Amino acid sequence: MEVAGGLVREGLIGTADGLKVWGALTMSAATSAARSGDYERAAVMMETAEQRAARVAKLPPGGDNRMVSVFSPSSVRIERVRLAVQYGRPQDALELAKGMRLSKDTPPSWRTWLLLDVARAHTDLGDAAGAVKALESLRRVAPTWMRHHTLAVAIVRDLWSLPNRPPGLGSLAEFLGLGEG
C-alpha cells in the first residue's frame, strides 16, 4: 500500500488513466485483505482510494484508456458499501450509502448492486421497511435483473417469512413469483 501511495504522492501517476489503474489495484488489494479477515485494513485502503479518486477528473486523460477500469468516488463508495455488507457491517454500509450521489460514469450494473447491497444491509439490521424501499428502487431500475438475481429473491423470501410484513412486500413477492408460497 505504501509503495502505491508513494507513487501517487510523488506524481509518478500523473494521468487519469494511471490513477485509475492504481485505484483498481488498490480496490482489488482491499478486497483481498477483507477476504483474508482484515476488514479494518481493507476499509482504510478503500477510504484512501476514494479520497484519491476525486483527483481523476483533475488530471490529464493519458493516452490509451481501453484497459482502464471505472474509478471514481462513486465507484469506490459502491465497493465500500459492498465490502461492509459482505463482512457483516450493515450499519457501516448504510452510513456509506447515505446521501450518495452517483457520477454519470457509474455503470448501471453498479447502481443495481448498490441497491441490492443496501437492501441486504437493511435486512441484516432487521429493518424490513428499509429493505423493501431499496428493493422497490431496484425493481424500478432493473426489473429483469432483479427477477433473476438469487440474492434479491432470497431477501424477499426472508422478509416474506416475517410475522409483520412491511407495506410493499406483497407486490415485490408477486413480481418475483413468490406470492403466498
Q: Which whole-number Å values give the CA distances from 35 to 44, 84, 159, in the listed order?
A: 14, 12, 28
Percent of the chain at pLDDT above 90? 59
Between CA 97 and CA 108 the distance in angstroms is: 16
* Predicted local confidence at residue 58, as pLDDT: 83
Residue 64 Ramachandran class (φ > 0 left, ψ -120 to 50 alpha, else beta): beta
DSSP states along 148-161 = H-HHHHHHHHHHHT
pLDDT value of position 11: 52
b/e map 28-46, b = 16+ CB within 10 Å:
ebbbebbeeeebebbbebb
Q: How far apart are CA 61 and CA 65, in angstroms?
A: 8
Which residues, other chains included, contact 124 with Cβ-Cβ below 8 Å and sequence gap of 6+?
85, 88, 90
pTM, to two decimals: 0.82
DSSP type of residue 119:
H
- Give me the pLDDT at residue 8, please: 47
What pLDDT, on a 0 to 100 scale, did the predictor assign at position 103? 75
Residue 77 near residue 96, CB atoms below 8 Å? yes
For residue 26, the model assigns a pLDDT of 92
Measure Cα distances from 172 to 15, 36, 78, 121 in Å: 45, 36, 24, 18
Per-residue pLDDT tens for 29-86?
A: 999 998 899 999 999 999 999 999 888 878 777 666 555 567 888 889 999 999 999 9
- Look at phi and psi of residue 7 and say left if phi exceeds 0, alpha if psi is from -120 to 50, else beta: alpha
